[in-house]
Structure 1
Amino acid sequence: MVGMSERPLLLVDVDGVLNPLGRPSPEFRRYQCHVEGETYTVYLNSKHGTRLLALAVETGAELVWATTWEHWANDWIAPRIGLPALPVIKLPPNVRGEFGELFKTPAIAEYVAGRPFVWFDDQVWAADEDYLRAHPSVGDFLLVQVEPGAGLTATDLDYARNWLRDLP
């Protein structure tokens, strides 16, 4: 049996992944979220929570927030799509990295601590993959670049599922 610290991780972004940046399909519902005096409009699909939970259960993976929403994702996003409170990766300020990597990438490299992971994000690029491959505490991973106009799709989830099934 795989121990908790050996389970693969499913790292999930919000904006562009669960909250598409384009015109959402009718499956999405509009919400107003109030965070530290600011109001944000988000469009969420309750099926995303069900599908992410199913993927986690089926593959033995642990869901983790990898979003600038940080702990607010547990307050505003998780309950609206049917997810429990998830661990949150603490992110640094939004400044592009020294090698062109996304500002989240170094924090993710530290967080995963050798565990295999899938990262659903709309802003991961070749520089992020290069950074992660060169980082000593990063093992196997899959970057799933979600198309931000549409958000997370069944194809994205199947891609992750197949990759996780092929892990040793």
Structure 2
Amino acid sequence: MAVMDGTLLLLDVDGVLNPVRRSSPRFRRFECVAEGEWFRLLLDPRHGAKLTALRRETGATLTWATTWGERANTEIGPRIGLPPLPVIPIDGDPPRPPGVNLKTWHVAEYVRGRPFVWFDDDLGPADLEFLHGHPGVGEFLVVAVDPRDGLGDAHLDAARRWLTARRRQAAR
């Protein structure tokens, strides 16, 4: 395993691991109850192995960045073959500029200068501007995922390329 500098691989659930439509026969349907609400999930069991391989190749730490919070470890991770992962707490509604996603503020507070790749389907220009201007945020790559299709090999490859390029630069 490559040893990196605390690099994080941030995972959203809805729209990323749980697309809004069944984009491939590999996705399986699940139902769960969370906080008294029924949720329909479409999950690809292969995602766990692919994300674990990316973690193993790059040394980055897989971390949940989702409003599912700890429920991602009980409802999502086991269904795709991921062990319990660290969770970025997304609680409260801190003041933030217009157009900035609630998760963005919490991610910026959590990373503490560590580089990260963030797989998300709901970030826009205001989020990127916020991240670039936040004093606790260093290098990062946001990999935009189409919520209709969810996470695919091209997204994982983009993360792998960025992480590998960072590792090569650090070795110089």
TM-score between both structures, scaled by the size of structure 1: 0.93
After superposition, what is the alpha-carbon deviation per residue over 1:50-108, rounded to whole angstroms, capped at 9, x for unaligned?
Answer: 10010011011000000111000000000000000000011134689324211111110
Change in Cα spacing, 1:159 to 1:21, as seen in structure 2 (3 Å) is same
Find the aligned partners of 1:37 and 1:85 in 2 and give their Cα distance: 22
**Counterpart mapping for 1:90-101 below 5 A:** 90-93=89-92, 97-101=96-100
Count of residue pairs the alignment pairs up: 166
Which residue matches 2:7? Answer: 8
Unaligned runs of 5+ in 2: none
Equivalence for 1:131:
130
Q: In the alignment, which residue of structure 2 is the partner of 1:53? A: 52
RMSD over equivalenced CA pairs, Å: 1.6
Q: Give the corresponding residue for 2:18.
A: 19
- Structure 1: any 5+ residue segments left out of the alignment? none
> How far has the Cα of 1:140 moved from its partner?
0.3
Letter in 2 for 1:101: V
Deviations 1:21-40 (CA, angstroms, capped at 9, x unpaired): 12331101100111121111
SS state at 2:102 partner: coil
Q: Is the 8 A contact 1:46 1:82 kept in 2?
A: yes
What is the TM-score when the length of structure 2 is the normalising length?
0.91
Deviation above 4 Å: which 4+ runs of structure 1? 93-96
Q: 2:35 is matched with which residue?
A: 36
Q: 1:94 to 1:26 in 2, by over 3 A?
A: farther
Residue identity matched to 2:6: R
- Residue identity over aligned pairs, in percent, reads 52
Q: Report SS of the residue matched to 1:166.
A: helix
Query: CA separation in 1, counterparts of 2:14 and 2:95?
Result: 17
Instruction: Name the CA distance, whole Å, in 2 between partners of 1:145 and 1:94.
Output: 23
Aligned twin of 2:161: 162
1:141 aligned to 2:140?
Answer: yes
Counterpart CA distance in 1 for 2:81 and 2:93 is 28
Native 8 Å contact 2:22 2:42 kept in 1: no
Partner of 1:79: 78
Change in CA separation of 1:96 and 1:55 when aligned onto 2, cut-off 3 Å = farther
